[in-house]
Structure 1
Amino acid sequence: MASKLIKAANSLSRTFPRIQKVSGLTAPASQRFRSTDVAAKPSLQLLETETSQLSNGFRVASENSGEPTCTVGLWINAGSRYETEKTNGVAHFLEHMIFKGTSKRSQRDLELEVENMGAHLNAYTSREQTVYYAKCFSKDLERAVEVLADITQNSRLGKDEIERERGVILREMQEVDMNQQEVVFDFLHATAYQGTPLGRTILGPSENILSIQRDDLVEYVNTHYTGDRMVLAAAGGVDHQKLGDLASKYFGKLPRSHPDSAPDFPTRYTGSIIEEREDNMQTAHVALAMEGAPWESTDNIALMVASTHLGSWDRSHGSGTNQVNMFSNQVIANNLAHSYMAFNTCYTDTGLWGMYFVTDKMHLRDMFWLVQNHFMRLCSDITDIEVERAKRFLKTNLLLQLDGTTAVCEDIGRHMLCYDRRIPIAEMIKRIDSLTGDDVRAVVYKYIYDQCPVVAAIGPTEQLPDYNILRSRMQRFRL
């Protein structure tokens, strides 16, 4: 494997309106953003999301659609961001161990009970959240809630199971390493947030997986699995009063977080580049991004419109150069990429907005030029018609993402953690409709124009442009 080269962003004397320094280090998030609470004024929607809260800060939110099935889950404000360098990977390790048996159920008993209910039990860990959820018949809601409470509060975390799970996680890491897109986005975070917890991977380094002990898992549970950091969300055939009673019964005794037990983990964005050259690979996998908006910023919606305008494309789609998307047409006409995908990733106090693409080594320079040229076009030249079209696509995507109780439940849980309320889809659509072309151009200009990008690239990257060249293309020179 070629060595990983991290080149810090070149120092520039200019001061920017949002990023105070362009030498790699930026000002604290509190100085960079003036975030307006997206959750300011609730409005009506067809199916109301009901919310309540227990005395220990535990929140309950549900949407009753009257279906015979439901999805219920725990959304926890805990992820790899809240780990130290020594314990990086413990949140994901804990997710694995949660299903290995409790003080009242063995692993086999747990699996049989879930299967006999005809239910589906699953979990995932991200950089800021850990989620455990069950999809079941509405009549089995209490059994599902009790199982979720049992596994998150009474897991045995046996030493023998911990030793066996190390090998499982190491094999999972090998599978992730074979997914080039996952690797590129891990690299992108590593260079964008270098020196901060947000730059670490979710799975953690292999040496940590081999050294994590039961005490590390117990400490993480005691610190982060507390009432005020949890949301019990449900969607489908769910009565909110009943769900609230179940929450009080099974989660009412959870303690609140101790003020000093969960320290804040601030972040810091660094414009930079990371490259892993592998000439034996057939294609180069690249991500180019800038610092975007955090969850609560109202700028987020305009950035979503901009990324929707760029969209995504893959050769397997079989489309020609007759698309309405100018960027896609140019990619296809010049055979510049195998695929591309615009993205807008948000966190509590920061975000990443950019594009991921796969291309041949001979087209790497031209693809970079095309991507950055369209980034600049978004800042000033995107037309009102294109903005309206992107807004319609975005609204369609949002509605399609709420297809099914699991998707709705996830939307509720994520919103409750990020905004402390569920943003109704009608309100989100109204916010999108209120945007004008000038609004989108102004927000994109703020976050993209003349800003320091981050780049992550793996594969045959011989033709990767120098960072100074990439940085200079983030503005247009006018005579």
Structure 2
Amino acid sequence: MSIATRRLIMLSRRSHQALTTTRSTSTAVSDTPRFLKHNSPHPILTDHTSTLSCPQTRLTTLPNGLRIATESNLSHTATVCVWIDTGSRFETDETRGVANFLMNMVYRGTSKRSMSDLDEEFENMGGEYQSYISREQTVYIVKVTATDVPKAIDVLSDMLQNSTFEENMIVDLRNDTITRMLEENEDPDSVVSDCLHAAAFRDTPFGRSTDGRPKDAFFVTKKVLQDYLSTHYSTHRTIITASGAVNHGEIVEQVKKTFTKLSTNPITSTQLVKQAPAIFTGSEIRKRDDDMPYAYFGIFFKGASWTDPDSFALLVIQLMLGSWTKSTDVDKNKGSQFAQMAGIDELAEHLRAGTCHYKDTGLFGVSAIAKPDCLDDLASAIMQKLSQLCYQVTEEDVIRAQNKVNRH
């Protein structure tokens, strides 16, 4: 992590401590200079458990290692998710792109339900369903009414344990996957994200796209899918969550009855990460296309992992910087000086601070869209604003960002 980033984190953390210790006793602002008040180099807040414990989350771990977490509220609907610790980071050269292919393949039919049957069941429940994949996780999400929670769990368990992987369905999905990849290769935002990870984690699976390459789809077979499923879709790497109108005890019993065929491979994602830790490499990738009217780019630094106490400080810093979009003139009047700079000086079409976290690392920085003749000035302005956070931040800016965190 760069020295500048560490200073940003330390500054945000000290401010958080000052706010939390004075909020209940006084609202007066001390005349003491900021750096004299918060000059300790040692972290104060090292555990966010108390912050994250509301609303209460109930957790049960079954004997086979499968974890079940629930949060109940007075809603009339419920969301059921299956989180599996697998993604492109855990792929090999031989299984590149398989995680994403498998995520889409489980919707193509099981031994109990055809593809049309699955669609019909979701439609009859009036539910919303989706799935997504990242470099470390694959997630399946279903949102239904309270009465349909048992059925949603049954359908999810069927998809993840009884998929048939019929050859004709594999061929159809292969064609769809290749077409989608070619379309995404034309999407500048997707290209920038992939280039960012490729530059930060060079020559490792972590630096690869979650989609794989078009040619990888031709090597996916039924056996490849079954092997990947048995290796990575295991009880020790799976968490089932439910929130909303749910009862923890009932969810546990339903999961016990339905999720009975998951692999019991004892290897966890944490063990795999320790075997191949992420190594951040500062570097640069450029892809030039003079036919495009704008340039899409990002300036990022090594950030913090999910469990790093600095992850909250980086989130506050991200919201302090904010975002700017040219089509919304009101952004010129935002509290963020970063957004004001972009709007008043008209250096960018779009500007956004961002942070992402992984098991043992993270990324923090700024992405932007700008005209080619503005790039030098914009890059210089971004670095100036990031550096400025190390020594010039007001209490009002920190409070504003913290309030945004609370609203999220």
TM-score range, shorter chain: 0.7 to 0.9
How far, CA to CA, are the matches of 2:5 and 2:294 in structure 1? 35
Once the two structures are superposed, what CA deviation does each residue of 1:155-205 show, in whole Å capped at 9, x if it has no partner? 001111111111111121123223211110110001110111110000001
Amino acid in the other structure paired with 1:206 = P
Q: Is the 8 A contact 2:97 2:213 kept in 1?
A: yes
Unaligned runs of 5+ residues in structure 2 are 7-42
> What amino acid is aligned across from residue 355 of structure 2 in structure 1?
N
Alpha-carbon distance, 1:118 to partner = 1.8
Q: Does 1:236 align with 2:244?
A: yes
Between structures 1 and 2, the one with greater helix share: 2
Residues 56 and 252 in structure 1, CA contact (< 8 A), matched pair in contact too: no
Distance verdict in 2 for CA 1:44–1:370, change over 3 Å:
closer
Report the TM-score, using the length of structure 2 for normalisation: 0.85
Give the letter for the 1:364 counterpart: L
Of 201, 213, 219, the residue aligned with 1:211 is: 219
> What TM-score comes out, normalization by structure 1 length?
0.73
2:291 maps to: 280
Within a 5 Å distance, the mapping from 1:332-351 to structure 2 comes to 332-351=343-362
Match of 1:434 in 2: none
Residues 1:296 and 2:307 are matched in the alignment: yes
Per the TM alignment, residue 321 of structure 1 is displaced from its structure 2 partner at its CA by: 4.0
Cα distance, 1:150 vs structure 2? 0.6
Residue correspondence of structure 1 range 73-92 to structure 2 within 5 A: 73-92=81-100
> 2:152 aligned with 1:144, yes or no?
yes
Structure 1 pair 259/386, CA: closer, same or farther in 2 (3 Å)?
Answer: closer
CA-based RMSD: 2.3
Aligned residue runs from structure 1 range 262-277, under 5 A: 263=272, 264-277=275-288
Q: Find out whether 1:386 has 2:394 as its counterpart.
A: no
- Evaluate the alpha carbon distance shift between residue 242 and residue 326 of structure 1 in structure 2; reply closer, same or farther with a 3 A threshold: same
Cα distance change, pair 40–395 in 1 and its aligned pair in 2 (3 A)? closer
Match of 2:10 in 1: none
Higher relative contact order (CA 8 A, sep 6+): 1
The equivalent position to 2:372 in structure 1, one of 361, 373, 377, is: 361
Instruction: Name the CA shift for 1:190/1:381 in 2 (closer, same or farther; >3 Å).
Output: same
Are the structure 2 counterparts of residues 16 and 66 from structure 1 closer, same or farther at C-alpha, using a change threshold of 3 Å?
A: closer
Shift of 1:286: 0.6
Percent of aligned pairs with the same amino acid = 34
Which residue among 306, 318, 330 is the counterpart of 2:317? Answer: 306
Q: In structure 2, the residue corresponding to 1:269 is in which secondary structure? A: coil
Asked whether the 8 Å contact 2:342–2:351 carries over to 1, the reply is: no
Q: 1:217 Cα shift?
A: 1.1
Counterparts of 1:179-194 in structure 2, within 5 Å, are 179-194=187-202
Amino acid of the residue matched to residue 163 of structure 1? V
Shift of 1:305: 0.9
Deviations 1:123-153 (A, max 9, x none): 1111111111211121111111011001001
Shift in Å, 1:16 = 7.3
Distance 1:169 1:350 in 2: 29
Q: Give the distance between the partners of 2:308 and 2:132, measured in 1 at CA.
A: 26
Contact kept, 8 Å, 2:324 with 2:342, in 1: the verdict is no
Decide which of 69, 72, 75 is 1:64's aligned counterpart. Answer: 72
- CA distance in 1: counterparts of 2:387 and 2:5, whole angstroms: 17
The answer for the alignment partner of 1:461 in structure 2 is none
SS at match of 2:330: coil
Does the 8 Å CA contact 2:324/2:331 hold for their aligned counterparts? no
Look up the equivalent residue of 2:403 and give its one-letter code. Answer: R
Listed one character per residue, the Cα deviations across residues 388-444 of structure 1 (whole Å, up to 9, x for unaligned) are 222222222x1xxxxxxxxxxxxxxxxxxxxxxxxxxxxxxxxxxxxxxxxxxxxxx
Residue correspondences, number:
367
Deviation at 1:86, TM superposition (A): 2.6
Q: In 2 relative to 1, CA 232–136 (structure 1 residues): closer, same or farther, beyond 3 Å?
A: same
Question: SS state of the match for residue 189, structure 1?
Answer: helix
Given candidates 112, 120, 124, the residue that maps to 1:116 is: 124
CA distance in 2, matches of 1:223, 1:198: 18
One-letter amino acid matched to 1:346: H
- Structure 2 counterpart SS, 1:380: coil
2:255 to 220, 229, 247: 247
